[in-house]
Amino acid sequence: MRLQGNHIYLRLLTPEDVGNDYVSWMNDSEITQYLESRWSAYTLETVRAFVKAMCDSPKDFLFGMFLNATNQHIGNIKIGNVNAIHRYGDVGLIIGDKASWGKGIASEAISLVTQYGFEELNLHKLIAGMYEQNVGSYKAFLKSGYQDAGRYKAHFFYQGRYVDARFVEKCRE
């Protein structure tokens, strides 16, 4: 399966897709500064085990982001924790290739995975949460048609202090 965009395409990741670049993203504090995964160190084996667990999960769909021009793997986006009864899931992403930051890749990936969630998974709603300081992610979700859904005050511990969590959501039309 391939979800085609203008600059990138998405496809489900497999453990065979995990290479040294992916592992280096996960160990780069600038890339993971807003992710809960930043508290761990990663190896090829642990990242492959994570991807395998996502592949084996009926509630999680982990896609790689690949540049159309080069097929370079530049990041991941997932729909996770799918609730089949209430028909919702949450979206999370990482762009590991710093050269791809600030180019609209995140909003393109969010739009593609949102369409997949609504059309293929028959979800009613998608949600995402982020650190208040993660302005780029927040703007990418808004650009993709998500709406602000509120915040939790002093929710995450970040750089020695508690910061707010922001939430966005999009319902199927």
Give the global pTM: 0.95
Interatomic CA distance for residues 10 and 33, integer angstroms: 24
Class of domain 3-129: alpha beta
Domain boundaries, the chain: 3-129
Q: What is the pLDDT of residues 104-139, one digit of tens each?
A: 999 999 999 999 999 999 999 999 999 999 999 999
- DSSP code at position 114: H
